Amino acid sequence: MIKYIVLALISSVITFLLKEKIPVLGYSAYKDTLGALLNISSIIFAIIGAWIAIIYPRAIGRIFSGSENTKETIKEADTDADYLSELVEIVMVSAFVLMVVLSIQFSAPLIKELITIEYINKAKYIAFFIVLMLTLSQLQAVFRVILANYYFLNDLRNKNVKAKVDRLHK
User: What DSSP assignment string belongs to 24-44?
Assistant: G--HHHHHHHHHHHHHHHHHH
pLDDT tens digit at each of 170 positions of the chain: 899 999 999 999 999 999 999 999 988 889 999 999 999 999 998 988 888 777 777 666 665 665 566 666 666 666 667 778 888 889 999 999 999 999 999 998 898 888 888 899 999 999 999 999 999 999 999 998 888 878 878 877 888 888 788 788 87
**Could you tell me the CA-to-CA distances from 126 to 21, 60, 110, 137 in Å, in that order?**
13, 43, 16, 16
Determine the structural domain holding residue 128 and report its residue range: 2-169
**Could you tell me the CA-to-CA distances from 98 to 79, 126, 129, 131 in Å, in that order?**
29, 18, 16, 12
Q: Percentage of residues in the chain with pLDDT exceeding 90?
A: 46
Q: Return the amino acid letter for 169.
A: H
Contact of 156 with 55, CB cutoff 8 Å: no
Total domain count for the chain? 1
0.85 exceeded by pTM: no
